[in-house]
Amino acid sequence: MPRRKQPTSHDVAALAGVSVATVSYVMNGRTDRRIPVETRDKVLDAARRLSYAPNRSARSLRRRRTEQVCLVVGSIGVPAYDQLARDIHARADEAGYGVVTIVVDSRARAEKAIDLLQQRIADGAVIAPDVGYLTESDLTGLARSGLPLVVMSNTATPDGFDVVRAPETAACAAAFDHLFGTGRRRVAFLSHLHEFEAADTHPSERLAAYFDALERHGVVRDDGIIVPGANDRVTAYQRVAELLARPDRPDAIFAASGRGAISAIWAARDAQLAVPDDVAVVGAGNLPESLITRPTLSTVGPSAADDFTEVARLLFERISAGVPAEGRVISDPWSFHPRGST
Amino acid sequence: MPRRKQPTSHDVAALAGVSVATVSYVMNGRTDRRIPVETRDKVLDAARRLSYAPNRSARSLRRRRTEQVCLVVGSIGVPAYDQLARDIHARADEAGYGVVTIVVDSRARAEKAIDLLQQRIADGAVIAPDVGYLTESDLTGLARSGLPLVVMSNTATPDGFDVVRAPETAACAAAFDHLFGTGRRRVAFLSHLHEFEAADTHPSERLAAYFDALERHGVVRDDGIIVPGANDRVTAYQRVAELLARPDRPDAIFAASGRGAISAIWAARDAQLAVPDDVAVVGAGNLPESLITRPTLSTVGPSAADDFTEVARLLFERISAGVPAEGRVISDPWSFHPRGST
DNA sequence: CTGTTAGCGCATTCAT
DNA sequence: ATGAATGCGCTAACAG
């Protein structure tokens, strides 16, 4: 495939009448090498005329770094991931780094992702999906190979990589206690799909807190009101509408996502049910929208608005440190934010 | 910075007692080279024991391709971009390609993006942001340098790259005609921020259609009801709430985004206004949510649900073609979908 | 069937 | 102040 040949530093050197070394020095604007303005201009001019751009692969090979970071997420279109992506992009931009995104939503893709990281597609990575596709040994393996890594997980133990936690259990427990404590008896759980499928084998933190609370309050579990649908707004709306249309409709709904909870509020209102009088709603996460719904949405979530600048900072710190620091762990526990919907 | 040295093909070759060439052939599973199972296993075993992974930069340099594609978007968290990203990721996955995302929301970042593409950070790119940061000459420049390119734009002319269009004007005109035709007189325009700022210099297609319709129906433009806020749900809600609280409140709202329109419906309902009787709402785009609001949301948008698989297909076709085909243009004009909110 | 070798394009010594 | 030479790690001709 005869793609038009890109100009190389040789071409520039030839056109400028200097050596490739000089071209390299000029292009990298190195100050430790005194280069007369005249030569510099000759080079820059030649580069411009050829519209020369140094080849990234060659540079990476030589410099032994790619100047890219990798962001591994579980899916596209999740508000929290979006914020993470924004914060990583911002930090990467400052550092002159690019961001390559990998979506891991199956074991196969997880293996592919690990392989790519092993191949040093990036100088460091943030691993966000907290579903089981990436095992702890995958992570330690990567870290041992010298890749700077920041992992967002409530279960992983730092081992050559940093861990950022957001423990949910206490906040969820508080939310459920509040619901049961104020007399709710049929609390439905609107779950993510993967969460639903693994409900009995590896229950998520939220789901485990739910089961715990049921026991604590002597309420018998009814699998009929544990429904998947939190992944997207439309499905959530439909599932909740169905739940609320039943004769034995729930008197409260805990949604595993903020989007799900907001859909639940609409569904309730559209069904002429009062929130929270007829049905209470709690959502997990920290959507700004929580404050503009009627009533405002009670949530379990981080203490402040989503902010992953710290994650980005840790990553770039590790990258520039060069020498793998001890694994650190930072933790920002969730809390229960009671608002209008409970 | 003494990062642990990664094993190279030499190390594997040494351990397996073969040459680097054999290692390369085995690792790439090439069938044109008949390799006895025994040697193959020796190599694979050695590779596994060293946890060897071929270095990506070296391979890219040698093969003259990165096996990455670049997705350039205008921001993060826009539903249509999300769908685009999903479709590109899916196609890339099949082809064993990675996806690197670049966010271009300023001229500076646009220049950075062009530079990176010039440096052959990827084997091809999809350019999505239809705001002016990337000029047509930027694009032709890139294309001329041999980079396979698919551009989503209603204005760019294909010139070494493919163009995917989604003309909006007719659909918007139809929507406005419907509004004015059914007696609306104060039609507010909830715009994106950049759209608002460039309203008089480079009005967006939607805004231009709005101005046109005003003239056509003999309605005088009132800048007081052209407000930014379509970018996010919360701002949209607040702006619309403000609009509706005014004594001279609008009797219709055209939102430049689906999210904005949905917030508008809430805001209206929360203000005890009937949609569409007191205020009609139209949104631009194709959110699935349009069907679950009460009333359902009238929209201008693509004929079917967002689907960018065609964009992905064009890109990979161009990449594997090798030889730059004539620029093609495909077009999927928007239409007006009247539903409950008008 | 397998090894030797010559680059890919660049950054960096070491000479000059 | 500049150039020649070396090699980053890999793949693909070409030999054997």
Contact B118 A294 (CB under 8 A): no
Angle between helix A107-118 and helix A136-144 axes, rounded to 10 deg: 10
| pLDDT mean over B1-16 | 78
Please give the residue of chain B at the shortest CA–CA distance from A96: B112
Quick one: tokens of A308? 């992953």
- What are phi and psi for residue B318, nearest 5 degrees? -65, -40
Measured between alpha carbons, how far is A199 from A223 in angstroms, rounded to an integer?
A: 10
Region of residue B148 (left: phi > 0; alpha: psi -120 to 50; beta: else):
beta
| pLDDT mean over B236-241 | 98
Residue-level pLDDT at A38: 87
> What is the three-class DSSP state of A20?
helix
Q: Rg (Cα) of chain A, in Å, rounded?
A: 26
Residue-level pLDDT at B130: 75
- Interatomic CA–C1' length for residue A3 and nucleotide D6, angstroms: 29
- Return positions of chain D under 7 A from a protein CB: 1-5, 7-13
- pLDDT more than 70, % of chain A: 98
Contact A120 B60 (CB under 8 A): no
> Is the bond leading into B148 cis (omega within 30 degrees of zero)?
no
Beta strands B125-127 and B149-152 are parallel
| pLDDT mean over B287-302 | 97
Q: pTM of the prediction?
A: 0.94
> What is the three-class DSSP state of A183?
coil
The residue type found at A203 is P
- pLDDT more than 90, % of chain B: 87
Which residues make beta-bridge pairs with B298?
B282
> What is the three-class DSSP state of A255?
strand
Residue-level pLDDT at B324: 67
- Interatomic CA–C1' length for residue B21 and nucleotide D10, angstroms: 9
| pLDDT mean over B216-240 | 97
Residue-level pLDDT at B325: 75
Write the residue in B51, B68, B266 that is nearest to A145 by C-beta.
Answer: B51
Q: Which residues of chain A does B109 touch, with a Cβ-Cβ cutoff of 8 Å?
A: 93
DSSP string, B263-289: HHHHHHHHTT--TTTT-EEEEES--GG
- Whether B118 has a pLDDT exceeding 80, the answer reads yes
SS3 content of chain B, % helix, strand, coil (to 5): 45, 15, 40
Contact B56 A234 (CB under 8 A): no
Please give the residue of chain B at the shortest CA–CA distance from A68: B100
Taking the Cβ of residue A108 and every Cβ of chain B, the question of whether any pair is shorter than 8 Å is answered with no
Measured between alpha carbons, how far is B26 from A88 in angstroms, rounded to an integer?
A: 37
- Whether B215 has a pLDDT exceeding 50, the answer reads yes
Measured between alpha carbons, how far is A300 from A22 in angstroms, rounded to an integer?
A: 59
- Residue closest to A305 by CA, chosen among A79, A126, A130, A85: A79
- Residue closest to A313 by CA, chosen among A61, A75, A68, A88: A88
Residue-level pLDDT at B32: 81
| H or E element in which residue B6 lies | none
Q: Which residues of chain A does B3 touch, with a Cβ-Cβ cutoff of 8 Å?
A: 64, 146, 322-323
- Whether B131 has a pLDDT exceeding 90, the answer reads no
> Mean pLDDT in chain B?
94
Q: Which residues of chain A have pLDDT under 50?
A: 1-3
Residues B163-198 pLDDT 10s = 999 999 999 999 999 999 999 999 999 999 999 999
Domains defined along chain B, listed by start: 9-54 (1.10.260.40), 66-166+305-332 (3.40.50.2300), 169-301 (3.40.50.2300)
Which DSSP symbol is given to A6?
A: P
Contact A57 B61 (CB under 8 A): yes
Residue A182: C-alpha distances to residues A185, A252, A341 (Å): 9, 11, 13
Write the residue in B77, B85, B294 that is nearest to A270 by C-beta.
Answer: B294
Decide: B205 and B189 in contact? Cβ < 8 Å. no
Residues B306-316 pLDDT 10s = 999 999 999 99
| pLDDT mean over B28-53 | 88
| pLDDT mean over B58-68 | 94
